[in-house]
Amino acid sequence: MDGHLSQVSQDDWIARAKTVLPAGGFGNFDPNIIIREGKGSRVWDENGKEYIDYLIGSGPMLLGHGHPEVLDATREQLDKGMTFFATNARGIELAEEIVRSVPCAEQVRFVSSGGEADMYAIRLARAFTGRDKIMKFEGGYHGMSAEAQMSLAPAKLVNFPQAVPDSAGIPESVRAEMLIAPFNDIDFARSLLAEHGHEIAGIIVEPLQRLIPPAPGFLEFLREECDRLGIVLIFDEVVTGYRFSYGGAQELYGVTPDLCSLGKIIGGGFPLAATAGRADIMAHFDKAIVGADGFLMQLGTLSGNPVAAVAGLKTMEILRRDGAYERLRHVGQTLMDAFSAHLNEAGHAHRIVGDQTLFDVVFTDRDVRDYRDVHGADMAKNIRFNTLLRERGIFKPMGKTYPSLAITDADIDQTIEAIAYAAKHLT
């Protein structure tokens, strides 16, 4: 990697993007930085500036960019074909490995994005129960469907369980089918279920909501109530699947949902996701079993793409090797300790929130248990802190730090130096 400058400057690319892309970007990340390439733990922008990458594609590059074994596996598949629409053996193998490793997974249906996987999980819950309402938690992210865009990041904090649409273009009728609860509040959830449990098809929850860990007993309570009321429990594990542990958050926390959504890591950096779960619920994808009235149609041109499946299989093989998760958690804990030590030394009130494999700084003097605790934090200070880190070559998103197995001890040292600089100069 020579870090050479592009013949077209980053400013030129930004100007070109503004003419052809709404808001000048893809809608995912700051459009004022254009990434040219990535290798291992590093990325380079179009001006040749080098960064240690803690965004890692928003999570899927757990092994880092361009892992040689993943590249070799995908090159071999490329010679055999890029996509078929028809079922292929590599996709079957990937489904078999998911069933072996994820506690709730008895069957798997592939899609191309985590948002699709969540959408189909919600639809499965409705098909299986014959009910319409869905319960979700304020601040929980479940993709871009109309249901998911209810109370994701509401600026207006209304009374629960009222839903607040986060996007234009969503019919008012969707709001009536969504019940919103505060994360980690067992008492409120109990009262909501007592009133509406017989109407609720599914409860969808991130086991770790964005960064916020579940309170002791919270996930267990949801499992018990869903069993009691005949509600489908859905874990959104698009982020936590194969990151928290090989069996995901449901393995780590010891609570098994009825369905889960998976994405990011199972595609090894390529577009691939899945809905997985109990066979009797997944049967709604099979018209021969459930009949025309119970059939849930699902089609996707790239679902089960063989190149993505091969990349996912090789990534998962590497994650099964001795020490992989121990190393990932060591990197994360070292960085969490560094953030805390330097921000404390500089006198900045904060909380380090999350898991060793996925965490960030929240600038607040109170404990963080739900979305409203994050919403009340000093977001402007967070922006300034991230800007200072980027100046020192640390590439990370607002609100998340994704460690990867590509991070070296030298990367850690450089990152800690950047943290110390940012904490000292933060105002």
Q: 169-185, pLDDT tens digit by residue?
A: 999 999 999 999 999 99
Q: Of the candidates 319, 337, 364, which is a domain's last residue?
A: 319
Shared domain for 274 and 414, answered yes or no, is no
Does 122 reside within a domain? yes
For residue 83, count CB atoms less than 10 angstroms from its CB and return exposed for 0-12, middle for 13-18, buried for 19 or more.
middle
Does 346 reside within a domain? yes
Shared domain for 195 and 49, answered yes or no, is no
Q: How far apart are CA 414 and CA 80, in angstroms?
A: 42
- We report the CATH number of the domain holding residue 138 as 3.40.640.10
- We report the CATH number of the domain holding residue 362 as 3.90.1150.10
Q: Is the pLDDT of residue 406 over 50?
A: yes
Does 132 reside within a domain? yes
Shared domain for 133 and 261, answered yes or no, is yes
Q: Would you say 275 and 304 are in contact if contact means Cβ atoms under 8 Å apart?
A: no
Q: Which amino acid type is present at position 101?
A: S
User: Where is 380: in which H helix or E strand?
Assistant: helix 379-391
Total domain count for the chain?
2
Mean pLDDT, the chain, rounded, equals: 96
Q: Is the pLDDT of residue 240 over 90?
A: yes
**Which position among 141, 253, 371, 402 bears the catalytic label?**
141
Q: What pLDDT does 12 receive?
A: 96
Shared domain for 253 and 159, answered yes or no, is yes
Report residue 79 as tokens: 């010679």
Q: What pLDDT does 1 receive?
A: 43
Q: How far apart are CA 110 and CA 270, in angstroms?
A: 13
* Mean pLDDT score, 15-21: 97
Does 305 reside within a domain? yes
pLDDT digit string (tens) for 341-366? 999 999 999 999 999 999 999 999 99
* Mean pLDDT score, 118-146: 97
**Which position among 45, 53, 118, 236 bears the catalytic label?**
236
Shared domain for 42 and 127, answered yes or no, is no
Shared domain for 235 and 338, answered yes or no, is no
Shared domain for 94 and 147, answered yes or no, is yes
400 given a catalytic annotation: no
Q: E-strand spans in 40-99?
A: 42-45, 50-53
Quick one: which of 401, 244, 252 has its CA closest to 338? 401
pLDDT digit string (tens) for 289-333? 999 999 999 999 999 999 999 999 999 999 999 999 999 999 999
Shared domain for 18 and 108, answered yes or no, is no
242 given a catalytic annotation: no
Shared domain for 48 and 98, answered yes or no, is no
Helix 324-345 / helix 306-319 crossing angle, nearest 10 deg: 80
Q: Of the candidates 295, 319, 343, which is a domain's last residue?
A: 319
Percentage with pLDDT > 90 across the chain: 97
264 given a catalytic annotation: yes
Q: Is the pLDDT of residue 4 over 70?
A: no
Q: How far apart are CA 62 and CA 406, in angstroms?
A: 8
Shared domain for 125 and 257, answered yes or no, is yes
Shared domain for 101 and 120, answered yes or no, is yes
Local confidence band at 5 (pLDDT 50, 70, 90 cut-offs): low
User: Where is 35: in which H helix or E strand?
Assistant: strand 35-39
Q: Is the pLDDT of residue 3 over 70?
A: no
Residues of the domain holding 385: 10-66+323-425
**Which position among 133, 264, 314, 396 bears the catalytic label?**
264
* Mean pLDDT score, 153-159: 93
Q: Would you say 293 and 70 are in contact if contact means Cβ atoms under 8 Å apart?
A: no
Shared domain for 116 and 251, answered yes or no, is yes
Does 33 reside within a domain? yes
Q: Would you say 258 and 226 are in contact if contact means Cβ atoms under 8 Å apart?
A: yes
Q: What pLDDT does 71 receive?
A: 98
Q: Of the candidates 266, 299, 319, which is a domain's last residue?
A: 319
